[in-house]
């Protein structure tokens, strides 16, 4: 009789393990990818710059780290400057490589990037330059640390400080 209960305990454990794995698969699919580093996420950003009264942005930021080290970012919203409260819509394309630091952290190094304005963007370039400089580790390169917070979001940080809580896109 003792042998029978031990066997049923093992069977119960096996089925419980299978059930646990099946329940967590949807969440695991959103976790920072194991090898490739591919990721898409969106964030809301309000940043104040040198003159905190008139040099600000209030934007949505959409990041895409795609296959083969190609990426893009869309920054859309409003800037405030001495020129006034003006619409901003910038498109950034970049090449990147990334490295996994731990199970929950990855670092993205943007090797080269270029930006363009949409035809309806009236924001001063200097305000967008301030925004991009927040993610910079030098004049040209961007360095973005990504830390998994939960199955839906990541924290994006520069070398100096946290930047965005970014909601992962499917």
User: What is the DSSP-derived secondary structure letter of residue 33?
Assistant: P
The CA-atom distances, in angstroms, between 121 and each of 18, 72, 91, 99 are: 52, 18, 11, 34
What distance in Å separates the CA atoms of residue 112 and residue 100, rounded to the nearest whole number? 20
Q: How confident is the model at residue 6 (pLDDT cuts 50, 70, 90)?
A: low
Local structure of residue 141 (DSSP, 8 states)? -
Q: Where are the domains of the chain?
A: 1-30, 39-168
Per-residue pLDDT reduced to its tens digit, 68-93: 999 999 999 999 988 899 999 999 99
What are the contacts of 115-118 at 24+ separation with CB within 8 A?
Answer: 115/90, 115/91, 116/90, 116/91, 117/89, 117/90, 117/91, 118/89, 118/90, 118/91
- How far apart are the C-alpha atoms of 19 and 156, rounded to whole Å? 33
Separation CA 46–CA 93 (nearest Å): 22
Q: What pLDDT is stored for residue 112 in this prediction?
A: 85
Q: What is the pLDDT of residues 103-140, one digit of tens each?
A: 999 999 988 889 999 999 999 999 999 898 887 766 55
């Amino acid at each position: 009789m003792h042998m029978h209960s031990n066997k049923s305990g093992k069977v119960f454990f096996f089925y419980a393990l299978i059930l646990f794995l099946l329940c967590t698969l949807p969440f695991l699919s959103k976790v920072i990818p194991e090898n490739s580093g591919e990721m898409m996420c969106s964030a809301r950003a309000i940043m104040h710059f040198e003159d905190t009264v008139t040099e600000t942005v209030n934007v949505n930021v959409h990041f895409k780290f795609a296959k083969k080290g190609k990426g893009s970012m869309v920054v859309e919203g409003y800037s405030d400057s001495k020129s006034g409260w003006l619409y901003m819509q910038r498109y950034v394309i970049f090449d990147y490589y990334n490295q996994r630091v731990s199970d929950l952290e990855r670092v993205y190094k943007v090797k080269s990037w270029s930006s363009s304005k949409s035809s309806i963007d009236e924001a001063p370039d200097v305000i967008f330059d301030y925004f991009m400089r927040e993610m910079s580790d030098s004049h040209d390169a961007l360095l973005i640390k990504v830390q998994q917070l939960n199955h839906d979001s990541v924290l994006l940080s520069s070398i100096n400080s946290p930047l965005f809580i970014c909601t992962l896109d499917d």
